[in-house]
Structure 1
């Protein structure tokens, strides 16, 4: 087809089905530009990359093609090489996660419908999918999480979806980014300042593997030497680097833009020192405590101590009230069948640190109406964790027998 580069031509036909407009959506390193375009009438984002990087980018496009069959990974549609450029057509999105968190007034419809926990669950599910394909993103950050157009319907995929984007399209682009800093081993640290795992900053990860597969998006997932362990030479890249960045992202989302390692220019220094601050979650009560527990694991200074994406999704932070109550009931049932004389070691362990769990008397921390109904049938020790579990279990079993005013207080089952 004829290519018209000079203005005022409004659009540039790159291929018979792909049209690239002159509307710029974003800019990247080394001449990369993202335009608004269309593919067979469908609105798309078109990433244009310079020919110098086309060989590496083409290799990584294969990874994108392999991984996009997931509702939380950016959709890849088409690629076309022409003249000095490679054009990649991707799903067009109205905003990034950074836009929604930092500029909600400009994206009001998305911001109003935004549910932090749902967003984090979707992002983690997308990352789990990539890791299952042995793809390591290496640059998880708010700007690389896009928000889809709203979709009609019900369920997890209805409404706006979180989409992981910008992974592994070009290894050379990533290694040459100006944000990369020399590490102790003289290599270049992949990723973005403030979002890189400590093992990368310490130079303990080998980022320049020679081999058939591009190290920008693929790496060892189960090597014999755990990443993050000083062994005298860098170890292989693992998916744990993504989990660390994801932990930072969790805190960013839940605190509406804060970072666990402080201001932008002190983050890398604090990451290496493991000087994190999660106090921004304290105001969320029990849910905040669950978030702190999960994020603390994800931000472990040692890569092998971090949970994988599947384990993150199983954490109680993501449990709904029904699942939490069922777990407590099941736990109570298990403790009930344990030997009391002599007392089972598990029962002793359950009550260890009981004051930190229930306080001096858990009766005083529950609604008076509930406690009055509770005391009609049996006595419970307000200092005992097991008795609190027993009370919750019993009221769940006999929920239908509760007076209407107590049911209204507790809510529906």
Structure 2
């Protein structure tokens, strides 16, 4: 993995290190700390907040990244270090191999990664993104300290391969980006299950590794800020814009603050580097005043808008828990989304309360613009040959102003997909991804409107359990 040192030289540890049971050497400028850790002083990767410096090194002859923390700034006690190492047992948490100290510094040895989330978004945004990147953050990366230089990004492109972070047809997150976002949430679920608050969740602390044919996101630096001495400030690089209002105003430390930071991170991913609270210099001020500057950018993506709006609640008690976020429709695959609509359709009876509640959403769920006018009947958006075929095949007529009947059409097509004419299968695409794209592109609000109705009134029913896992577990009272 080629990286750029602090001095600007190209450095590849894979080429220059030698490893054996008795020897590990990057170069002659080494510092041995304790029995297990060797730090390569000339292989400085970058620097972070509060005097933190990153080096290449080895721990028990494994190539690692060494995070050097000044003892004068940190009060890292053994209990906190134990928490870092205890959090290792999860694929979405950066592995900490061990810790060593000398009289001036604390050295944390962590697994090597290819880049961080900020790197990855920069790679994508510098190519083609539907949003203009407006961040002017001071850049302190885990892989380099060069300020967004194209040559550095090009090297990372070569390492990571062909990275597609958004769909070409609608600009929504690709399956890869959704997977990485899900990784982040899964890591947070693991930490909170252990009673660990991350406290500094931001793109620079989310590391990316290449694993076979995909990428994996891993959380790092959890709890580091908690160990700062009381007189230290948040003046380090990239420190603004990721903390919850209760952190900024009162210094309050709860797991809910991680969820606020998560909302900012998810927005950052989806918009190609934008921030919900505006430009770098104004973010903290806007967070304190609850001024969401750029949330309109995801209004046409209802799953993201719904989730992120709840994550950015100024009242920390109203934010969902990490396990609830993991089960939100934003992270459902095409099969689960269609299955939910199918199962809901099966539950809608004549003159039922569910029917009435669903039909009240018609203006939003069915409302689409056609030639500049809002149309509230769905037959204008579905190809005629589909309607004719399904009406004839099942010998029934559909009411085109009814949400229930649109759900029935989707259910019937899903159930009888194998019996559909070939030209109709080609029209709607593959089962399940093409099928789901066909209807989502025409009725983008449908899924979330149905979800909100079912979640509010019927979430505890047996058929709903697989869709609302974590929300109705007795101890969780947040319904969002």
Task: Select 1:345's aligned residue among 348, 353, 371.
Answer: 353
Which residue number in structure 1 is paired with residue 185 of structure 2?
A: 124
C-alpha distance in 2 between matches for 1:11 and 1:249 = 37
Cα deviations by residue, 1:277-302 (Å, 9 ceiling, x for unpaired) = 322224xx5xx211111100111111
Q: Is the 8 A contact 2:199 2:226 kept in 1?
A: no
Which residue number in structure 1 is paired with residue 135 of structure 2?
A: none
3-state DSSP class of the match of 1:195?
coil
Which residue number in structure 1 is paired with residue 344 of structure 2?
A: 331
The CA RMSD over aligned residues, in Å, is 2.2
Matched, 1:13 2:32: yes
Matched, 1:296 2:296: no
Which residue number in structure 2 is paired with residue 102 of structure 1?
A: 122
Q: TM-score, normalised by structure 1?
A: 0.79
**CA shift at 1:111, angstroms?**
6.9
**Aligned residues between the structures:** 351
Which residue number in structure 1 is paired with residue 162 of structure 2?
A: 112
Q: TM-score, normalised by structure 2?
A: 0.69
C-alpha distance in 2 between matches for 1:193 and 1:167 = 17
With 123-132 and 360-369 compared, the bigger mean Cα shift is at 360-369
C-alpha distance in 1 between matches for 2:325 and 2:204 = 22
Gaps of 5+ in 1: 1-7, 153-157, 182-190, 207-236
Matched, 1:380 2:398: yes
Matched, 1:253 2:269: yes
Which residue number in structure 2 is paired with residue 242 of structure 1?
A: 258
Which residue number in structure 1 is paired with residue 384 of structure 2?
A: 368
Cα deviations by residue, 1:95-128 (Å, 9 ceiling, x for unpaired) = 1111111245512143733522111100000011
- Against the structure 1 CA distance between its residues 28 and 57, is the aligned structure 2 distance closer, same or farther, given a 3 Å change threshold? farther
Which residue number in structure 2 is paired with residue 197 of structure 1?
A: 244
C-alpha distance in 1 between matches for 2:215 and 2:30 = 29
Q: Is the 8 A contact 2:199 2:225 kept in 1?
A: no
Matched, 1:267 2:275: no
3-state DSSP class of the match of 2:242?
coil
Cα deviations by residue, 1:129-169 (Å, 9 ceiling, x for unpaired) = 00011111111111111112x222xxxxx632111111223
C-alpha distance in 2 between matches for 1:325 and 1:174 = 51
- Against the structure 1 CA distance between its residues 379 and 169, is the aligned structure 2 distance closer, same or farther, given a 3 Å change threshold? same
Task: Select 1:308's aligned residue among 321, 328, 335.
Answer: 321
Which residue number in structure 2 is paired with residue 281 of structure 1?
A: 298
**CA shift at 1:201, angstroms?**
2.6
Which residue number in structure 1 is paired with residue 362 of structure 2?
A: 354
Which residue number in structure 1 is paired with residue 211 of structure 2?
A: 151
**CA shift at 1:375, angstroms?**
3.0
Cα deviations by residue, 1:39-89 (Å, 9 ceiling, x for unpaired) = 233210112223335652543211101111111111011222234322221
Q: Is the 8 A contact 1:57 1:170 kept in 2?
A: no
Which residue number in structure 2 is paired with residue 136 of structure 1?
A: 197
3-state DSSP class of the match of 1:68?
coil
C-alpha distance in 2 between matches for 1:392 and 1:61 = 53
Cα deviations by residue, 1:18-57 (Å, 9 ceiling, x for unpaired) = 2110211222344332210012332101122233356525
**CA shift at 1:333, angstroms?**
0.5
Gaps of 5+ in 2: 1-26, 125-149, 166-175, 368-375, 432-480
C-alpha distance in 2 between matches for 1:273 and 1:30 = 27
For residues 206-221 of structure 1, what are the structure 2 equivalents within 5 Å? Answer: 206=252
Q: Give every structure 1 segment of 4 or more consecutive aligned residues whose post-TM-superposition deviation is greater than 6 Å.
A: none
- Against the structure 1 CA distance between its residues 174 and 101, is the aligned structure 2 distance closer, same or farther, given a 3 Å change threshold? farther
